[in-house]
Structure 1
C-alpha cells in the first residue's frame, strides 16, 4: 500500500490533518461506523466531552485493531459533535493520539444537533492496508 498526504498549505499539519490523502495498491479497506462512548454492555456515556472523547478514541482503536488494521493507516477521520466549542477545548487529546500513531488523514469536523441518547462526540474512520 502506498499512502501520500497532500498538503498545498503548511498550516494543516499544525491542526493534525491533511487536505487530502492518496492511496494506491490497497490490499483492503475498512469502513468504520461512528464510534462513541458506548461501553461493552451497550450503555451510552453521560460523562463530559473530554471523557467521551477518550472513550470514543478507545472504541475506534478496538475496532480497527480487531479487524487487523493499523491505526497509522487511517486515511479519513470524520468527527461529529454536539458542541464544537466543548470539543475544541479538548482537541489536543485527539491531536496527541493522531501524532502518537503517525496518522495522516483527511478530516471533517461537523457540529450536529444531536447524537444517540446522551452522546456528544462520534468518530467515523476509513482505514486501508
Structure 2
C-alpha cells in the first residue's frame, strides 16, 4: 500500500487531520462501524464525555487490531458527538491518540441530536493495509 497526503495549506496541522489521503495499491480496506463507549457486555456508558471518548478509542483499537489492521493506517475518521463543546474540552485526548499512532487521516466532526441510548461520541473509520 502507498499513501499520499494532500495538504494545500498548513492550518489543518494544528487540528490533527489532513485535507485528503490518496491510497494506491492497497492489500485491503476495513470499514469500521461507529465505535462508542459500550462495554464488552453491550452496556452503553452513562459516564462523562472524557470517559466515553477514551472507551470509544479503546474499542476502536480493538476492532482494528482483531481485523489484522493497524491504527496508523486509518485514512478517514468521522466523529459524531452530541456536544461539540464537551468534545472540544477533551480534544487533547483525541489529538494525543492520533499523534501516538502517527495517523494522517481525513476527518469530519458532526454534532448530532442524539446517539444510541446514553452515548455522547461515536468514531467511524476507514483503515487500509
TM-score range, shorter chain: over 0.9
Aligned residue pairs total 129
**Alignment-derived partner of residue 60 in structure 2:** 60
Cα distance, 1:14 vs structure 2: 1.0
TM-score, scaled relative to structure 2: 0.99
Greater than 3 Å deviation, 4+ residue runs: none
1:19 aligned onto 2:19: yes
- Structure 1 gaps, min length 5: none
TM normalised by structure 1 equals 0.99
Q: Displacement of 1:13 after TM fit? A: 1.1
1:21-60 → structure 2 map (5 Å cutoff): 21-60=21-60
Q: What RMSD, in angstroms, separates the aligned Cα atoms of the two structures?
A: 0.4
Instruction: Measure, in 1, the Cα distance between the counterparts of 2:72 and 2:97.
Output: 10
Equivalent position of 1:70 in the other structure: 70
Matching residue of 1:83? 83
Counterpart CA distance in 1 for 2:92 and 2:15 is 9
The offset of 1:20, in angstroms, is 0.6
Give the CA deviation at 1:5: 1.0
Structure 2's unaligned 5+ residue stretches are none
Structure 2 SS opposite 1:52: helix
Name the structure 2 match of 1:104. 104
Q: Secondary structure at the match of 1:13?
A: helix
